[in-house]
Chain A
Amino acid sequence: MPKCTINGKAIEVKPGTTVIQAFKAAGVEIAHYCWHPGLSVAGVCRLCMVQIEGQAKLQIGCNTLVTEGMVVNNTSEPVKEAVKWGLDFHLINHPLDCPICDQAGECGLQDQYVHFGKYDPEMAMPKQKKHKVVDLGPTIVLDTERCILCSRCVRFTDEVSKTNELGIFNRGDRSEIGTVENKPLDNNYSLNTVDICPVGALTSKDFRFRQRVWYLKEAASVCTGCSTGCNVNVYYNEEGAWRVKPVQNEKVNGYWMCDKGRDIYKFVNKEARLQTAKVGSKDQWRLLEGGQAAKDVGDSLRQVAKTEGADKIALVVTGQYTNEEYDSLLDFFNGTLAVKNVYHWVNNPEDMTGFDGILFRGDRNPNTAGLKARLEKRGLKSDWLDLEKKIKAGAYKYVVVAGPENNSVFPDLESKAKMMSAAPHLVWLTAAKSEAVDSATTATYQIPLKTFIEKDGTYTNHVGLEQKVKRGTTIVAGALTLSEAVSLMSGEELDFSLRPKPLTNLKTNFFTAKRGEL
């Protein structure tokens, strides 16, 4: 194991470690654009310059291996001077349009210029004009004047998505990123190129010009878009959530996530949510507090179980809740009420086992595995056809549904809701508002629930890995977690002093449904 000294700090690294990796391991800052831990080495930006004792010339840290006893620094004057000039060259043809650039605030050029800026550029030639506002595909806009040709995006489409759409065309200062014959960059991983672009050349159609990034807060979470469970940050402010970006986890998603997963911020926002409980049926709804509704439903359920038997109650569960929520749900229904008819609602049975070979899975629920394990443990294995049959036969008085929070991945929502509303009483617990349930013709309770970003809990992904999510923000203050709803149903009171305060200034986040409609 080679030992080396990084800016005076002695560390030991694995053989085959590059200097830039050693800097990262030592926790020492090093400027770089083209190097990315999830991609191959390109060595083209020349920003990661280091001075190695005993070597006359400066070296690039990303393409130099650490050798035994190496003494390296990136603080000497020659290094600073080299980075300064490197940066100046990167800016020769850059339009310097930060005020209208969506990357501002999280831009590699801005960040490095603060440290290494020449502040007095010496370029007298006019700038090369290149293509701007290039519609690169359904998700991305490209500004080739801002591009520093680090080739990260090209290597991403070559090495990770393996779709090979992008390339660097032409030569010298006319070089540009693009696709062959302007074919759209259209794959389910395209937005990762926006994340790894160190500058404002690639921007997301869905997000650009909607928020300044320094006004957003971020909450670490887990993507609920499928059973892979990619680790993510959700960016939000007092108006709601605005975007989702991947967070590195070697065990789950590496550095990446898919484009479909990036949509999960949409259904947590107010416009998509059931904001208060409703009781009634088609066109005749009365509004009430979620907690009150849960209490009322609980009273009736306990009554029915006592007088007519638990067989009169059916529980339908989707794979969209946390393990803790399943536990309290099943404790009450299966434990206290002794309900045995518990049905797992599988949203798209055909491709539940589908997998695209990278990250994305056909099972569009975060916690199918957790639910299945819990049903199995209690020996609950009711068949879906049995539910349909029994509802038709009038065997159930109450059908209670822990419905989807992400309606868009339940293509069968309408038909299933219709089928279930043939029971005399329907109780629909859900975060999402839905027309399908609003047009139920039977006596229905709709109870508003919280989404993944508003609660603590655990999801079990497709390989059984348990991942915790933490509450980041509250968007619908009147909503309950499934556990809260269940304890109210069981007759317990909640400690409301612990409930989060509602967000103030909640305006409509009207962009959230409009990806790609620029």
Chain B
Amino acid sequence: MFSLSEEGVAFVKRELNRYEDRRSAVIPALYRVQKENKGWVSPESVTYLSHLMDIPSAWIEEVLTFYTMFNKRPVGKYHVQVCCNISCSMNGGREMADHLCSTLKLKEDEVSGDGRYTISRVECLGACDKAPMMQVNDDYHEGLTNDKAVEILRGLK
């Protein structure tokens, strides 16, 4: 059964107090859950949040399914989000995503056998001037080539 850490619970309660409408706290709460739940939001954590925040789970699920930055399925230890929007695509972003998948031998959005990686394609991450780019967990890596990207991923602890 999923539950947030003590600090996590305190965080959600603080967020709830910040807004007039309890619904407004859903996004920060989901982020917190994702962080404490190995990078994804499970169905049972939605139920948990609905009790904690005292709002219907449908309202949480609506937000969760709307935003792509919440993962609805388990991800690897390193969630690699490769930008495939215009600037990055023009500079080889799509090919880079394919290259990473074939080098690491996994399919998009799946967890690699060793549990280390998940590769996803995403839309513009706002670093167009340094295209192509990828985001690994919370860090941006910009101005990449295929080899550089592989090197970075291999080098992760």
Contact = CB atoms under 8 A, between A and B. Distances in A.
B58 A179 contact: yes
B56 to A, nearest CB: 3
Contacts of B43: 180-181
Interface in B29-68: 43, 46, 56-59, 61-62, 65-68
Contacts of A180: 43, 46, 57-58, 61
Nearest to B50: A180
Q: Is the interface of B mostly helix, strand, loop or mixed?
A: helix
B63 to A, nearest CB: 9
Interface residues of A, number: 13
A169 interface: yes
Contacts of A167: 58-59, 61-62
A164 B58 contact: yes
Interface string B3-40: 00000000000000000000000000000000000000
Interface string B66-77: 111000000000
B61 A169 contact: yes
A169 B59 contact: no
A171 interface: yes
Contacts of A166: 58
A116 to B, nearest CB: 30
Chain B interface category by residue count:
10 to 19
A1 to B, nearest CB: 32
A258 B57 CA distance: 24
Residue of B57, B61, B65 with highest tally of chain A CB at under 10 A: B65
Nearest to B56: A164
B122 to A, nearest CB: 14
Nearest to A171: B66
A169 B65 contact: yes
Contact of B66 (A154, A164, A165, A170): A170
B59 A164 contact: yes
Nearest to B44: A181
A168 interface: yes
22 contacts: A154-B58, A164-B56, A164-B58, A164-B59, A165-B58, A166-B58, A167-B58, A167-B59, A167-B61, A168-B62, A169-B61, A170-B65, A170-B66, A171-B65, A171-B66, A171-B67, A179-B58, A180-B43, A180-B57, A180-B58, A180-B61, A181-B43
Interface of A: 154, 158, 164-171, 179-181
Closest 3 CB pairs of A and B: A164-B56, A167-B58, A169-B65
Given A165-B58, A180-B57, A181-B43, 18 more contacts: A154-B58, A158-B56, A164-B58, A164-B59, A166-B58, A167-B58, A167-B59, A167-B61, A167-B62, A168-B62, A169-B61, A169-B66, A170-B65, A170-B66, A171-B66, A179-B58, A180-B43, A180-B61
